[in-house]
């Protein structure tokens, strides 16, 4: 049997140990350091969110809509005229009615006949917009102190229609009563006629220069017709 010297035997053992240690080191590396953070190349795609005008991209503040994942808004969501951050449509009711501040009142020439006095009460659009009137105006005779003379006028039968008034255009209603000297009604001479446009509360004041009007008695009724286009029949 061949005898191996102790020095040779120790050298062989050291060589084997070095080889085993090298194998263990190579198996544990995994191609890099275990647990080190890895960086992914590229950038995250921007969130699309709600593209409604007036809102920022992504999730609108104060809503329960989709998050920054780029999900589309719920089906049926309004996208035109929407309020900021709500996704709903803001609707504003716009009235076309003529307001008192947009009108001027006047009384046209008397057209008498068979003891009747017939005056056109005219409303003229003095504003810069087109507006409408419909139905009966309100009216009352008053004295110089603003006290009403006689009862409110009655409404003559008629079918209200909507009258469109462009700037400068007019509508009229007939104011009719029996002359006091013919009817025998108690009479007074008004200082003014106050006129209230349909559906308005504020009135317009027109100086009255046509003499006496009936204010009491069985034949004291004053009548108003519905408004029609123009300034007279």
Q: In this structure, what CATH number is given to the domain that contains residue 129?
A: 2.60.40
Q: For residue 210, report the phi and psi dihedrals to the nearest 5 degrees.
A: -100, 15
* Amino acid 43: pLDDT: 31
- Using DSSP bridges, classify how beta strands 222-224 and 154-155 pair: parallel, antiparallel or unpaired: parallel
Give me the domain span that covers residue 113: 100-228
Give domain status of residue 117, yes or no.
Answer: yes
Specify the number of domains making up the chain: 1
Give domain status of residue 172, yes or no.
Answer: yes
* Amino acid 181: pLDDT: 87
Q: How many C-beta neighbours within 10 Å does residue 120 have? A: 22
* Amino acid 94: pLDDT: 63
Give domain status of residue 60, yes or no.
Answer: no
* Amino acid 218: pLDDT: 75
pLDDT one digit per residue (tens) for the chain, 233 residues: 445 544 544 545 445 544 444 444 444 444 444 444 333 333 333 333 333 333 233 333 333 333 333 444 333 333 333 333 334 444 345 679 999 999 999 999 999 998 899 999 999 999 999 999 999 999 999 999 999 999 999 999 999 999 999 999 999 999 999 999 888 899 999 999 999 999 999 999 999 999 999 998 877 899 999 999 999 88
Cα 78 from Cα 90, distance rounded (Å):
10
Give domain status of residue 179, yes or no.
Answer: yes
Give domain status of residue 139, yes or no.
Answer: yes
């Amino acid at each position: 049997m061949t005898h191996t010297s102790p020095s040779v035997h120790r050298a062989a053992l050291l060589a084997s140990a070095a080889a085993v240690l090298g194998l263990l080191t190579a198996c544990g590396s995994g191609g890099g350091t275990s647990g080190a953070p890895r960086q992914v190349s590229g950038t995250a795609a921007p969130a699309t969110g709600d593209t409604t005008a007036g809102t920022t991209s992504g999730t609108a503040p104060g809503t329960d809509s989709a998050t920054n994942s780029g999900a589309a808004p719920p089906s049926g969501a309004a996208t035109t005229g929407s309020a900021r951050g709500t996704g709903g449509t803001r609707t504003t009711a716009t009235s076309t009615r003529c307001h008192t501040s947009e009108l001027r009142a006047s009384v046209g020439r008397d057209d008498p006949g068979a003891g009747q006095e017939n005056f056109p009460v005219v409303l003229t659009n003095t504003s810069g917009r087109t507006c409408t009137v419909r139905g009966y105006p309100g009216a009352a005779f008053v004295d110089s102190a603003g006290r009403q003379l006689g009862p409110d006028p009655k409404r003559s039968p008629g079918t209200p229609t909507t009258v469109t008034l462009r700037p400068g255009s007019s509508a009229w209603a007939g104011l009719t009563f029996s002359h006091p000297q013919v009817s025998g009604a108690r009479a007074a001479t008004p200082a003014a006629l106050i006129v209230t446009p349909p559906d308005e509360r504020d009135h317009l004041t027109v100086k009255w220069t046509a003499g006496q009007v009936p204010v009491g008695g069985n034949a004291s009724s004053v009548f108003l017709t519905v408004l029609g286009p123009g300034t007279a029949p």
